[in-house]
Amino acid sequence: MYPQLYPQCSLNEGIAFFSPEKEKLLANNHFIQNLNLISDKSTISAEMIFKVPELETITRFIDQQLNSSLEIGSSAHPLTEIDIQKGTRYFNVKCVFFQDKSFEVVITDTTKLEKRRLIKQQMTSNIAHELKTPVATVLGYLETLQHNSITQEKQKYFIDKAHAQARRLSELIEDLGTLNKIEEAGDTFKFKAVRVKEVVEEVQEQLQAKLDEQKIKVQVDLKDKLEIQGNRSLLFSVFYNLFDNAIKYGGEGTEVLLSNYLKDKKNYYFSFANTGNEIEEKHLTRIFERFYRIDDGRSRKTGGTGLGLAIVKNAILLHGGEISARKYKDGGVEFLFSLQR
């Protein structure tokens, strides 16, 4: 009976079958590996499962079933399962009995699933936190307008403030949508030949008023015919968010420099630097995380959603590239990234 179940196991499942005498009949290498990770000991025998303290609940269930005088019906198989955290790893352990009181134990490494669940949980918490402030602000301004007799000048002030917060909400929702599309349905984006310089020029044109307002000089060193197989919309998001980040945090009178400094058979390599405010070393590896803020007060004042660089990273990964950040030689920060040709 039990050998027929064996081929149905997924690759990350460790599975072993035991006789009613608790003798191992069959076990795969994942079972031994997962058992070692749970027990912190290098074992070579699947029978060691009965001596691992973390699996006491499973062992107790097994003994109860084996010592029971009741026969196991054909339509129901006694089952128990537990979840175990061992350091940074998570496991699900399941035990199922068969009619002849032989049994199987399945140990599944659920670390990736658990971490994904925790990330989603944190994401939900972050979204709620980010939405709370602008929503409360808009409601406050509207209630002031609704219940107070104020001058036309004051009315315009409150309406403008409410509008700015509503725009921030709209941007946050749009960024969340973009990030979700990249992470959950990346393979649905259509790729075709895209000239990178044309995308950059489109971004500059859209942000020119902000660049002029901050007196930011831009130097772009890209060949007109530099072309990759990519998604134009996502590439626009990459460069838009890099430029927008420089405008918001670089400071007035800074300089932005974009260049393609290297290429090989597979990739083009780019540098995007601004000479503005520096970022401490401890933040450089984390600035691509969703909602990560170097300075919470400054970020909220500039109106950022906290998702711009997360979009940049995920879009670049979808294009077969990588991105990292470092301090720029002339002050400020430099982003080094690649895009597959």
For the chain, give every domain's residue range: 2-109, 113-186, 189-341
5 pLDDT higher than 50:
no
Selected residue with higher pLDDT from 77 and 244: 244
Confidence of residue 3 (pLDDT cuts 50, 70, 90): very low
CATH top-level class for 2-109?
alpha beta
DSSP tag of 339: E
Q: How far apart are CA 191 and CA 212, in angstroms?
A: 33
Cβ-proximal residues to 315 (8 Å cutoff; 6+ apart), any chain: 182, 234, 235, 237, 238
Give 291-334 pLDDT, tens digit per residue: 777 665 444 455 566 788 988 999 999 999 999 999 998 788 99
Give 164-214 pLDDT, tens digit per residue: 888 878 877 877 777 777 877 666 788 999 999 999 999 999 999 999 999
**Strand, coil or helix: what is 256?**
strand
pTM beyond 0.75: the answer is no
Q: How far apart are CA 47 and CA 23, in angstroms?
A: 7
Q: How far apart are CA 49 and CA 134, in angstroms?
A: 54
Give 108-121 pLDDT, tens digit per residue: 998 888 777 776 66
Mean of pLDDT over the chain: 85
Cβ-proximal residues to 298 (8 Å cutoff; 6+ apart), any chain: 249
Give 150-168 pLDDT, tens digit per residue: 888 888 888 988 888 888 7
Tokens coding 145: 């307008």
Q: What is the pLDDT of residue 98?
A: 92
338 pLDDT higher than 80:
yes
Indicate the length of the chain as a whole number.
Answer: 341
Tell me whether the CATH fold assigned to 113-186 matches the one assigned to 189-341: no
In the chain, where do the E strands start and end? 13-18, 24-27, 79-86, 89-97, 103-109, 192-195, 217-221, 227-230, 255-263, 267-274, 323-327, 333-340
Burial of 336 (0-12, 13-18, 19+ CB in 10 A): middle
Q: Give the count of beta carbons closer than 10 Å to the beta carbon of residue 104.
A: 22
Instruction: For the domain covering 189-341, report its CATH number.
Output: 3.30.565.10
Contact call for residues 49 and 35 (beta carbons, < 8 A): yes
Instruction: For the domain covering 113-186, report its CATH number.
Output: 1.10.287.130
